[in-house]
Amino acid sequence: MVTLDDATSEITSAFFCKQEGTNSSLRGIHETIAKHGLFCSLYTDRGSHYFFTPEAGGKVDKSRPTEVGRALRQLGIDHIAAYSPEARGRSERAFGTLQGRLVNELKLAGIADMAAANHYLTEVYLPRHNAQFAVAPEMEASAFVAIPGFDIDNILCVQEDRQVGADNTVRYMGLSGFSCAGGRLTIRPTWP
């Protein structure tokens, strides 16, 4: 999973995960904001964890946001859907570079498990990669905005609304717990 600053080609977050999806996307956004601050827009493919698309290959429906879309909306970040690989430009070139170099480096280092690969990626590879491939932005001022004291953890998470039953229980994924009768509750499961 890779998050890239389009203005500089700096990789702001990267990690290996079993499957790209909602949680990995939220993690990449979280890592980028924690390191650099809030950004104005996010350009992604049209994967189902990013957008609801009523008809395969058709336009996305932003009126029915996914969890990623909801979180971006809450943060005031414009979410832009890419309709072709060419539209993703720098990110596609970065993926090509990563696939060509990183895989070979991991093999040479004898790394075969995800935890070791993630450590190597963040501690060894990314600093070198960014030093070599990142460029100065056209505008000197950063487009990232610091957000001190802002609790992004309660936004960059999956939020599931549940009705509290008359017996004071809330059911979620086959589990039940106690709460206040008659109300609603938002459940925020954590990522692994």
User: In 10 A of CB 71, how many CB atoms?
Assistant: 24
- pLDDT of the residue at 137: 87
8-state DSSP, 124: I
- pLDDT of the residue at 183: 63
Are 103 and 9 contained in the same domain? yes
Q: Which phi and psi (to 5°) does residue 96 adopt?
A: -60, -45
Does any domain span residue 154?
no
Are 18 and 75 contained in the same domain? yes
pLDDT tens, residue by residue, 10-51: 999 999 999 999 999 999 999 999 999 999 999 999 999 999
Q: Is 4 exposed, middle or buried (0-12, 13-18, 19+ CB in 10 A)?
A: buried
Are 28 and 105 contained in the same domain? yes
Please tell me the pTM assigned to this model. Answer: 0.85
Last residue of a domain, one of 118, 133, 148: 133
Are 26 and 98 contained in the same domain? yes
pLDDT tens, residue by residue, 80-138: 998 877 767 777 888 888 888 999 999 999 999 999 999 999 999 999 999 999 999 88
Of the pLDDT bands very low, low, confident and very high (cuts 50, 70, 90), residue 68 is very high
Are 43 and 104 contained in the same domain? yes
Last residue of a domain, one of 133, 150, 168: 133
- pLDDT of the residue at 182: 61
Location of structure tokens 């809330």 = 170
- pLDDT of the residue at 119: 98
Which secondary-structure segment (H or E) carries 20? none
CATH of the domain at 20: 3.30.420.10
pLDDT at 167 over 70: yes
Residues 6+ apart with CB under 8 A from 29: 3, 13, 42, 68, 71, 72, 156
Q: Residue 179 sits in which domain range? A: 159-187
Does any domain span residue 142?
no
Does any domain span residue 144?
no
The domain total for the chain is 2
Are 127 and 172 contained in the same domain? no
Are 76 and 171 contained in the same domain? no
- pLDDT of the residue at 29: 97
Does any domain span residue 167?
yes
